[in-house]
Copies of this chain bind each other. A is one copy, B any other.
């Protein structure tokens, strides 16, 4: 099944604040544990912008090809993963070692030997990427054509599934770990990419979902993602915001269930809004990232017997269940994804940074121009 393969063409970050540059690299010899993935799509994440702007440092020294939200086909594999060759896969954004004490203790996302493409080694803004094969998630029913329609979901291809690698799976694990139950109340703060998927996952679980965003277009669009009450947190004083949500909860959710809040905005304002919603027994899941440190009354956790959980990535063993939900139309990725040529990466990064991108952008290599 292994195809003749000679090179990788990708977009490399050489220095913070500088444009990416197009590079060619030879495909290295694969170790027994590695695979070579031909990229079908690689999503653009705010984490990439964090690296590019220099606020967050990549764990691997620069230069580095970024991109950690990858779907593709396994073109070649080391001994341990020979049976993956030819398979369509989603690459978990965090690839744990699977062997250490943390992995064995069920904490794979904090495995200290974890590999995150585009952070610990070259990533997916490229035609091909070399990675550990251990936790790649095969896509059931996918053939060799990355543009073929998958399952019975209108418009869904392997390329769209790139967003499962990080945005959808991060949201999924956040909901999973929160303990949100059917009939519970979920509040999603920030209805961008990850927030919209968090809303979908929460609604799919049977929760009554409230969404908060300052952008009226996002609030309007969120209805399709299962948000049943969309509010502008800037337009309401904190107390009134709570009251509006409490009123919704009384009529639409289990009266007894504690609130579950998902902070997905990755902004100080969003974090303060989320913190202000803490009540008895509440769970706040911190999904978004910002380097800011807003003032927070930490003691409210104590006074309310509440908790705040950080969520980093997604454990590989959750991916099959996530894919199953996407392939059975329980989670819609097509409407929230935009495919763009990899060659347009500079323009796309601009759009994402200036919040002009309304959907999660997946960069797609042009096979005619770039394949070896």
Contact = CB atoms under 8 A, between A and B. Distances in A.
Given A293-B297, A307-B309, 11 more contacts: A101-B256, A102-B281, A107-B305, A110-B280, A286-B302, A292-B297, A293-B296, A294-B295, A301-B309, A302-B310, A302-B311
A104 B348 CA distance: 52
Contacts of A263: 298
B308 A308 contact: yes
Contacts of A303: 289, 310, 312
Contacts of A307: 307-310
29 contacts: A102-B256, A105-B256, A107-B258, A107-B305, A109-B305, A110-B280, A110-B281, A110-B304, A110-B305, A266-B299, A271-B298, A275-B298, A286-B301, A286-B302, A287-B302, A288-B299, A289-B299, A289-B302, A292-B299, A293-B297, A293-B298, A294-B295, A295-B296, A298-B308, A304-B310, A307-B307, A307-B309, A307-B310, A308-B308
A100 interface: yes
B295 A293 contact: yes
Nearest to A263: B298
A38 B13 CA distance: 74
Given A256-B101, A256-B102, A296-B293, A302 B288 contact: yes
Interface string A168-189: 0000000000000000000000
A105 B258 CA distance: 11
Interface string A247-289: 0000000001010000100100001000100001100001111
A291 interface: yes
Chain A contact residues: over half helix, strand or loop, or mixed? loop
B308 A312 contact: no
Given A101-B256, A280-B112, A305-B109, A300 B295 contact: no
A292 to B, nearest CB: 7
Contacts of A110: 258, 280-281, 304-305
A297 B289 CA distance: 9
A290 interface: yes
A290 B256 CA distance: 28
A297 to B, nearest CB: 4
A100 B256 CA distance: 9
A306 interface: yes
Contacts of A295: 293-296
Nearest to A304: B310
Contacts of A290: 299
A306 B100 CA distance: 18
Nearest to A301: B310
Contacts of A299: 266, 271, 286, 288-292, 310
Contacts of A311: 302, 305
